[in-house]
Amino acid sequence: MYAADQAGIKVIAPYVEAQDEKGNWKRVVEDMGFPAGLARTMVADLTGKLPMGTRRIRIVTNLKIYWDAIRIDQTGDSREARVQEVPLANASSRFLVTRKRFG
């Protein structure tokens, strides 16, 4: 990012496009954010944003970003969640000392 700025290159944040039934690409997520580096998970919520008949989506940017995997969750919206308090079974406030052993 610093080198791009120094070179006067305008960075385009990653955004998501979807291809409609006619083959035209439509931007559906303006800015999905930047990956934080290392092994990180990013989420782009596409709920209600894809045109009818969408078969393909793509992430667009002018940066050199490598995506290891892309997963799409198509599970239904589950509103049947409940919060239940669970009593504490055991706890300890002892100080923990760890030592590295070599050899």
31 is in which domain, residue-wise?
A: 11-71
Give the pLDDT band of residue 100 (cuts 50, 70, 90).
low
- Separation of first and last alpha carbons in the chain: 42
Q: Is there a domain that residue 98 lies in?
A: no
Could you give phi then psi for residue 3, rounded to 5 degrees? -65, -40
55 inside domain: yes
User: Is residue 42 situated within a structural domain?
Assistant: yes
Number of domains in the chain: 1
Residue type at position 100: K
Would residue 76 count as lying in a domain?
no
Per-residue pLDDT at 40: 77
For residue 42, give both structure tokens: 């990013």
pLDDT tens-digit readout, 49-65: 998 889 899 999 998 88
The verdict on residue 21 lying in a domain is: yes
| Residue 102 reports pLDDT greater than 70 | no
**Contacting residues for 53 by C-beta, under 8 A, at least 6 apart:** 20, 21
**Is 48 domain-assigned?**
yes
The pLDDT value given to residue 27: 96
Which of 33, 56, 53, 36 has the alpha carbon at shortest distance from 44?
33
Tokens of 41: 């998970």
Does residue 39 lie within any of the structural domains?
yes
